[in-house]
Structure formats: C-alpha cells, structure tokens
Structure 1
C-alpha cells in the first residue's frame, strides 16, 4: 500500500543494520520531548543515527504523527558539495504478530544527503492514534521497536562549490597614513604601508593628479588588497565595508566617503573613488587638507563582514557496494 508518499510491506525478518527499542514511549510524549536521537550504527561505510520525533516534527508542521529520520552521525564525513544517495527503509515491529511493517519511499526515489542537508526520512510514519492501539501491536506495555536498513546506492562530489560564511568577530580597523612632501611628488600614484584588517593585508592608494575620469581634476583614493594571491584563494571574495578619508587638519571638517558593501577578490583588488576630491579644493590652504603645501593625512576604516570561499573541485566517487 502507498500513503502520504510512503510505501509499506510486511517482513518476517528483522532489520539488517539497526534496531532501537523504546521501553517508555509515553515518557517522551508526556514531557513533550521534541526529538530522540539513537546511538550510532554503521552502514555503507558511514555512521548513522535514527532521529525520532514522538509528537511529530513541528518544524514541518507535522501533528499527531510520529516522524523518523536518518541522520549522518559524523557531519564532517560529508563535505559541502558531496552527495550520498541512499535507500532508507524504516522498520516498525508488530509485537503481536512478530512481523515488521517496512516503510520506504512510495516512488522508489533515492534519498539524497549532502553537506547542507544531513538527514532524510519520513515526516508522517504513522498516526499516533493508530500507533497507540494495542491490537495493532506497535506499542505494547509502553514499549516499541524501530529498525533501519540503509543501502548506499551512489556517492558523488560536485565540481565547483562556494560557501559564504560570516565573520562573527568582525570589527573595524583604522589605519592612518601621513604623506610628506606632497607638492614634490612625481609618481603617478602612491601606496601606504600595508596594514591588516579581517585577516587580510590592505593598502591605501592615492593618485595625486587623479585617475580615470578624475585625471587632472581630482585626487583619486582607493582601498586595495595587498598580495591577494598569497592570502585569498582563487574564486574567493571578501564582503567588505570601508571608509576613506582625507583629514582636515585645521578645521576638523574631514573629506570622507563611505562605501556600500563591496566584494574584494583576486580579480577585483581595489575599490574607491576616482573623483574623491577636486584638486582645487584639496590644495586650498584654508581647507586644511594639504598643510603648508607639504603633507596630508589619509585614513582608512575597514570592516570585513564575511568571506565567500570557492571550495576545491572534488573527483566523482565510484558507486558504493551495498
């Protein structure tokens, strides 16, 4: 018979891989225990657990049913990008007849576990009312017996995977850069000494006579990743928020520009403004940006909020033997 996506049959043989006896099922339901996890058992080269929701999995809006799932016991055994397809069969002992009700997917679909979903199973195994009727044999003297068979059908690892993680300890790092003898500079651009923020090395770049559409009319200022190939793997990106500032050393009215969130990578190493401040305004003595036509102060405030890492491509695995 098939019902609610489940197909059932009867068997006289106990489950091949694991049996779980709950001797006081009412204790779980009466004290509203959300889940019960079994001990570990091995099958197909992996360690597994049974996860039982005695009152139904409320996270999936299940009520008045028992929910049961198969869970990978060792999360690290399956990396993000890897997949394991299994034939999972759940056993429920009829203690009156000595036979097992065997449940599996009605459409014979393979259940697929991967790094982002480490458990699969059945939301509605059996209604609690039907389960609790003694004549059905599933719950006798407040005890029941569940079992599991797990056959690994196929293992596969995806080619390219990206993982975005948040930097939980993100904080703003401030760096001050003093440029001397500004009026004598002949270089097209200047770079500050390197500084560290969010585990990465950065520099401030300044074009005294402008860059791109700010050339000859503006001072251009950028934040740049220093030596990204050494610190940042190919394909990875840094979610970064930053402020660049030229300090008004006379009046305290600084010229600041704050970014939206920007993604820095090995391909996009620098972000900033080509038209940061007009050259005329920058050189005006009363503005305090260039003191005595000699030196200026440039500041950067950098916060790295997260990193998107491109994980290494993995080779496909051979199908596992059951």
Structure 2
C-alpha cells in the first residue's frame, strides 16, 4: 500500500502543536477487529486526502509489530485541473499524554501522488509494545489515542530560467573599417549595428581614448544596442577578442573581453587598448584606414518564465 521509507529520510521529533491538516481520536481501539481504519476525506492544499491507520501494523508493507500510518490521495481532484500529479511532504503524529506532546515522524523526501500511486506512508511508525503500554503514555484511559498528519503541498515551480552558452556561432566575426583615422575629430564613433547571439550590437571607438586614457591610447568598446531592453536581473555573457588588424598581416593586436552585459552595464571594453604611437607605427594602412575586428567566442542566451 505504501512504502517503508529509509531511515535517512525520516526525522523523528516531539512537537507541542497539534497536527495542522487532520487529527483522528479513537476510543477503545482494541474493539476494531479489521486491519485498518480510514478517516473521512479532509481538504489540505486544495486537494482531498484521508488518513489510514493500521492499529496492528500493515503486514503487507513490513509493518508487523508496529503502528502503520498512511495518507491516501483522492485522485478525482485531478480531473478538475490541468495537473497530472501532486507532490507533498508528509508528517505523521501520535499523541503522548505523558509528555503532553506529539511524537512526530517527518518524511523529508517529497512524495508523488497520481492516478497510479495514491497512497504513501510509513509502515513502522511506533512499535506496538511501546504504543500499547499505558506507562509510555500513548494509550490512556478507555483505550483512547490520537493520531494526526500534516500534508504540505510542494507547489510546482512557476519561475525558472534556462541559460545556454553558445560557442558555435555561425558568423563569429564583425569587422569595422575606419577611414581617414588620422583626421578624425569626434570624441567617439559608433559602428553599424550587427547581430550576434540573437542580439543587436555595435562597436564604440574613441580615436584618442576616452576620458580615462589621457589622450595616449585608443579605446574600444563592445556595446549592446539601445534597442535591446533587458529586464530586471537579465544578463548576457560575452567572451570575445577585440582586435586591431595589422595591414601587413604580421602582427594582429588582440585583447580579451569577458563580461556580463546588463541593463545598467551595456557597454564593456578596453580603455587603454593600444597606444596611439604604436597604432600609427604599425596599424594604419596606406589609405589611413584602421580595421577593428571583434571575434566572439561565447554568447549566452537565457530564457525566463513570464
């Protein structure tokens, strides 16, 4: 009917608070000659359940010599929902008048209830020798005893994210030819937009460096285009190589980019990418053109729940 849970998943404890889901009090338990007692259906977590007690143990579930306790799920509840199964944590209780507390056994392993498996429980809750001895406090005057259960629904997750790191990009390179470099007058220049990893990007070039470069170095940045709006904690991981192409093909100058792009930080790059002296010496072609290249190695793609 149920299953004998391994000891490693069972937590035994004492609790003063009564069961939250259902309590069952029985007088003159010995007069029950049938092997089990089933409570009425009770509502917990939006579903119907009932408590099943085997006062002499469930022999078919290795419960001989013990009190056996189970919870049965009313699987007709599933017909009114789109769910095919319900997950729940179970805690069983036996009241001890001597201690004025409830002896509890909590199965920390969540149980899956569905049309094929409607019953879960514990076959060895408490030994009959201990339970039936009035000195131990479980069976009191008039053979009165109390059992109980807490059924706590483990709600299916509704918030999630799935992230993948794409290292097989179809066209991983973007090249930008900046003409008449030596006579550029603007503080910075922006390349045309290009698509990579399902996002729109552009490059920013500061011919004399941004404010942190002291006019001595070239500054290059990769910028997530303004048309891309990231929500909340949404982020994009990029690993790439920013490169300046040697027109003679002998000395490719490269620096690595390894950053998370967010709504607050859409632009990452290298402030002191290359000294202007070295650039003029080796990286301008005969037509005064500078070629910048970004080679993407990895771009992350993340899907979020609504």
Normalising TM by the smaller chain, what interval? 0.5 to 0.7
Alpha-carbon distance in structure 2 between the residues aligned to 1:180 and 1:40:
74
Gapped regions of structure 2 (runs ≥ 5): 13-18, 25-35, 50-74, 88-109, 122-147
Aligned to 1:70: 113
Gapped regions of structure 1 (runs ≥ 5): 19-38, 52-66, 73-87, 93-105, 117-160, 313-322
State the secondary structure of the residue aligned to 1:281.
Answer: helix
Distance verdict in 2 for CA 1:173–1:274, change over 3 Å? same
**How many Å apart are 1:218 and its aligned residue?**
0.3
Alpha-carbon distance in structure 2 between the residues aligned to 1:107 and 1:274:
64
What are the residue-to-residue correspondences of 1:238-317 with 2, within 5 Å? 238-260=236-258, 262-284=259-281, 287=282, 289-292=283-286, 294-308=288-302, 311-312=305-306
Alpha-carbon distance in structure 2 between the residues aligned to 1:178 and 1:294:
10
State the secondary structure of the residue aligned to 1:114.
Answer: coil
Q: Of 154, 164, 167, which aligns to 1:166? A: 164
Alpha-carbon distance in structure 2 between the residues aligned to 1:107 and 1:212:
68
Alpha-carbon distance in structure 2 between the residues aligned to 1:71 and 1:174:
52
Aligned to 1:90: 119
Distance verdict in 2 for CA 1:165–1:71, change over 3 Å? farther
Q: Aligned-pair RMSD on alpha carbons? A: 4.2
1:47 and 2:45 are equivalent in the alignment:
no
Is contact 2:166–2:301 with CA below 8 Å preserved after alignment? no
Alpha-carbon distance in structure 1 between the residues aligned to 2:224 and 2:114:
42
Distance verdict in 2 for CA 1:258–1:295, change over 3 Å? same
**How many Å apart are 1:308 and its aligned residue?**
4.7
Aligned to 2:154: 112
Bigger radius of gyration: 2
Aligned length: 201
Is contact 1:247–1:298 with CA below 8 Å preserved after alignment? yes
What are the residue-to-residue correspondences of 1:197-216 with 2, within 5 Å? 197-216=196-215
Is contact 1:41–1:49 with CA below 8 Å preserved after alignment? no
**How many Å apart are 1:295 and its aligned residue?**
0.6
Q: With structure 1 as the length reference, what TM-score do the two structures score?
A: 0.51
**How many Å apart are 1:267 and its aligned residue?**
1.3
State the secondary structure of the residue aligned to 2:279.
Answer: helix
Is contact 1:222–1:272 with CA below 8 Å preserved after alignment? yes
